[in-house]
Amino acid sequence: MEQQVGAARSDVPGVPIEAESVDGALLSLPGEHEEPLDLLEASELLRTELGALRLPLTLPGVDQGRRERDTLIAQLDDYLLPRLRRMDAPVLAVVGGSTGAGKSTLVNSLVRREVTRSGVLRPTTRSPVLVHHPYDSGAFLSQRILPGLARVTSEAPEPAQPIDVDAPRATALRLVPHDGMPTGIAIVDAPDIDSLVETNRDLAKQLLAAADLWIFVTTAARYADAVPWDMLRQAVDRGVSVAVVLDRVPPPAMQEVRSHLATLLRDRGLATSPMFTIPESPRSAEGFLPRDVVQPLVSWLTRLAKDARSRDVVIRRTLVGALDSLRDRIPTIASCADDQVAADERLRDDLDEVYAAAADTLEHSLGDGTVVRGEVLARWLELIGTGDLFKSMDATEPGVLDRLAGSGPGKPLQTQQLDAAIQTGTASVIRAVAQRAADAAVDRWRTRPEGEGLLAAAGGGSIGEQRLAPDIDARLARTIRDWQASVLEDVREQVAELRAGARAASLGPEMAALIVMLGAYAATTGGESRGDTAAGAAAAAHSILEAVFGDHAAQALTSRARADLVARSGTILDAERARIESLLDRAEVRDGRGEMLRALTMAIEEAR
């Protein structure tokens, strides 16, 4: 089955584990006797697998799995892979914090130049600003980091504008080369983590996830707020290097606030994080904080940029934290992938059961005389010129074959009407079975959240209110006509093979074919009951065919006709099942994804 393509296999030592990549190619992990992957190779394969992983089925926990997958892909793209590809690249420090914490003012004050807009009217659609030394431009002009953001070079800040809660997300990273920045480090001014604009909040999280270092800015009035501490908790969970800036502290409360914040940091696993305090101070005419109040932070950042060992400590701490987080995050995603496969199999099993039962029902309905009742029987009695089937359809009685072989004025029309009745009756039986099967399949799926989700997503498209394909009637008509033509050809071959005499010649292959069809429709009745019209028709048809072709040939003709009809009608059911199953096929759930993710996590651990 399709969902089994790309299944991971690692049963034999030394044989690569394989899984299907985004473009369908197979990815391989080395076995025991092959060269192991290095850290970058394993991480790149992990990114490929996560990009290929679809979690389309609605299941408990799938929303969390999708968020974790998307978050991890973003971190791989924005931070982990760029850092592994260039361990010597400048430290990326992202300045983040709550609304009004003074982030933009701090960034401007650090470089002594207005590179980012500050104030009450904050540009809600602005591009995040990355300030770096001109010598480091090559590290940021490319898409090495934050590949989803285009590069814009502009030294002037964007104009202020009113807040728009529906503002679109920024799509560019504004690069500002500045000699006031030391080489080896760059600073990004991120949007507010509690911004009124959702796209700004999302962008802030993305930028913080891409950072080697968080410079977290809060104020004396808001340092105990929940939102900042939630972000700091995430930093602790992922091992990110953090520096905390306590801004706008009233000088009389400096010692008390510093001590309390230090206690909070220690209690939350950030005891080693450097903390800088900035007292309430008047700003310069350019809007900068006094040099002396920001100098401790400037000095620390400068030492960090110039000291290769210190820079390496910050980079490696954050890198190790990101790698450590994979141990907790990948199992969640892998379990979701396993659950998707199990759900896919359940839904396919539902279809197997429903359509297997439908195939049995259809085979029985096409052989129990159902088609012979009603219009088919009425047209048959008109053709033979009698209203009493049981008294007039014994081929041994005088005149029976003569009536069938006769060519009265209404005979061609009556033959055509019987032929049309057979087509209509057969189509009606097959269509009814297909309808019940589709209803049963849809009803079964709706008892499962994953099935209900697929059907809801399909809407009125491939599975409409009718639940059958729009062209089913045309396909039924074509299938039955092809079957009738096949029966006629078989009869003609039988006539030629047996070199039948006057009886067969007078009856004609067209009439003989119609009688073969009648016999095929009532094959399972055995033709013994003379109290049932279908059984009587079967017995009469066999009696006529035996009189014309002989017992063995008559039985062979009706058996082949019925088997052929069952096979052809089965293709209708198969097509209807495939139409419903295509919802699953399009979902593209692939077996082996969870196993591959776990294997890649192990490969990353071994490479470390």
Name the DSSP class of 12.
S
Residue 107 in tokens: 């960034």
Global pTM? 0.78
274-277 long-range contacts, CB within 8 A, separation 24+: 274/243, 274/244, 274/300, 275/243, 275/244, 275/245, 275/246, 276/243, 276/244, 276/245, 276/246, 276/300, 277/245, 277/246, 277/249
Cα 536 vs. chain centroid, distance in angstroms? 55
Residue 115 in tokens: 């590179």
| Spatial distance between the Cα atoms of 558 and 542, rounded to a whole number of angstroms | 8
pLDDT at 119: 53
- Domain ranges for the chain: 2-71+331-335+593-607, 86-306, 366-587
Name the DSSP class of 28.
E
CATH number for 86-306 (one of 3.40.50.300, 3.40.50.800, 3.40.50.720, 1.10.287.1770): it is 3.40.50.300
pLDDT at 531: 46
Name the DSSP class of 79.
I
* Residue partners of 63: CB distance under 8 A and separation at least 6: none
Residue 350 in tokens: 């539902």
pLDDT at 478: 96
- Cα separation values, 382 from 367, 377, 387, 413, Å: 23, 9, 8, 11
DSSP per residue, 218-234? EETTTTT-HHHHHHHHH
pLDDT at 245: 94
The two most distant CA atoms of the chain are separated, in Å, by 126
Q: How far apart are the first and last CA of the chain?
A: 38
- Cα separation values, 66 from 63, 72, 294, 330, 344, Å: 5, 10, 42, 12, 17
pLDDT at 524: 56
Specify the length of the chain in residues: 608
Over the chain (608 residues), the average pLDDT of each successive run of 10 is 35 38 50 76 97 95 95 93 94 90 91 77 63 93 88 67 58 90 93 83 88 92 83 83 93 92 91 93 91 95 92 92 92 97 98 97 88 80 60 49 56 81 93 96 95 85 73 96 95 76 68 88 54 65 80 90 95 96 94 96 93
Q: Which residue has the tokens 């192991």?
A: 36
DSSP per residue, 479-504? HHHHHHHHHHHHHHHHHHHHT--HHH
pLDDT at 351: 97
| Spatial distance between the Cα atoms of 450 and 447, rounded to a whole number of angstroms | 9
Residue 93 phi, psi dihedral angles, 5° rounding = -105, 120
Q: Does an H or E element contain 24, and which?
A: none
Residue 89 in tokens: 């690249």
